[in-house]
Amino acid sequence: MKKTLFFFSILFILYSFTEKKHPYHVGSVEVNYNSKSKTFEVTGRFFLDDLENGLAKKYGKPFHFNDTKYKVQINEALKNYSAEYFKLKTDNQFLKINYIGYEEDSESVNVYLESEKVENPKKVEAAVSFLYNLFDDQINLVHIIVNGNRKSEKLTYPNRYLFQQF
């Protein structure tokens, strides 16, 4: 998580010193198994403008995260968007993923998801393609953590699948 935060911090600093749109299309997705709740807690972090544009392109209407009148629309769109662009499978079984909500700041958005309960996952597969509908150079850094064991992988468009054994 520290490396991801550092990476995003550097990108946000670069972004804030330029008037142009940021030159990198990158997001991160952390998939953390919570042994107490027996669920995967998922956090996706994306540049705010990229996510607004990805949703607008997908659903054909504008979305503005920093405007409260769009909150209901954004929640519905993110729920549907996440269901299409994020899949999780453990031990050869797809998991139901629930949309929890989102948080925003001036430059980024965190999207929160949670899986149904699963006992002691040994094999984790994910399909992650957030913002692939917008950019053909999108990179998603994916971190899967099970019982403190962290495995990370960089997915670059069009690659969307990863597999980790724990």
105-134 pLDDT, tens digit each: 889 999 999 999 999 999 999 999 999 999
For the chain, list the strands marked E by DSSP.
26-34, 39-47, 86-90, 93-94, 97-104, 108-115, 123-128, 139-146, 149-156, 161-165
The type of residue at 16 is S
pLDDT tier for residue 18 given thresholds of 50, 70 and 90: very low
Q: Is the pLDDT of residue 17 over 50?
A: no
Mean pLDDT over the full length of the chain: 90
**Rounded to an integer, what distance in angstroms lies between the CA atom of residue 141 and that of residue 136?**
15
What does DSSP assign to residue 141?
A: E
**Rounded to an integer, what distance in angstroms lies between the CA atom of residue 3 and that of residue 114?**
23
Q: What is the pTM of this model?
A: 0.86
The type of residue at 116 is E
